[in-house]
Amino acid sequence: MASTKCPSCRSDKDVAGVVVRGVFDGVLYWECMSCAKVWHRFRPPDDRYAAAHEHIEHRRETLRIAAEREWNRERERITGDRRDPRTSYADYY
């Protein structure tokens, strides 16, 4: 049984096991809510290694998009500017 203590910040209170139905019967990977570290127990010859990495990368992308949306909402609230900061000003003229 793998440890539920975060290997990065050593927290054992803010660790959540993520179960993905149809991939593995049990916890596929763990996520620390304190430092956002994600880890799993599988090694490269195991087919579940690729499945765990795929789910972890999807989760990271989802969190990145959510954080970017939150940042844009906060920027709009403070500045009143609704333009997308990823586009150049020339796109608006």
Is residue 6 in a domain? no
Structural domain count, the chain: 1
Is residue 69 in a domain? yes
Residues 18/12, Cβ–Cβ less than 8 Å: no
Residues 27/17, Cβ–Cβ less than 8 Å: yes
Residue 14 has pLDDT above 50, yes or no: yes
- Residue 31's domain comprises 15-80
pTM of the model: 0.60
Is residue 2 in a domain? no
Residues 27/53, Cβ–Cβ less than 8 Å: no
Q: Which two tokens stand for residue 39?
A: 């880890």
Is residue 29 in a domain? yes
Rounded CA separation 36/14 (Å): 10
Q: What's the pLDDT tens digit per position in 49-60?
A: 888 888 888 888
Q: What's the pLDDT tens digit per position in 20-46?
A: 888 888 888 888 888 888 888 888 888
Is residue 57 in a domain? yes
Is residue 4 in a domain? no
- Quick one: average pLDDT of 58-79? 84
Is residue 92 in a domain? no
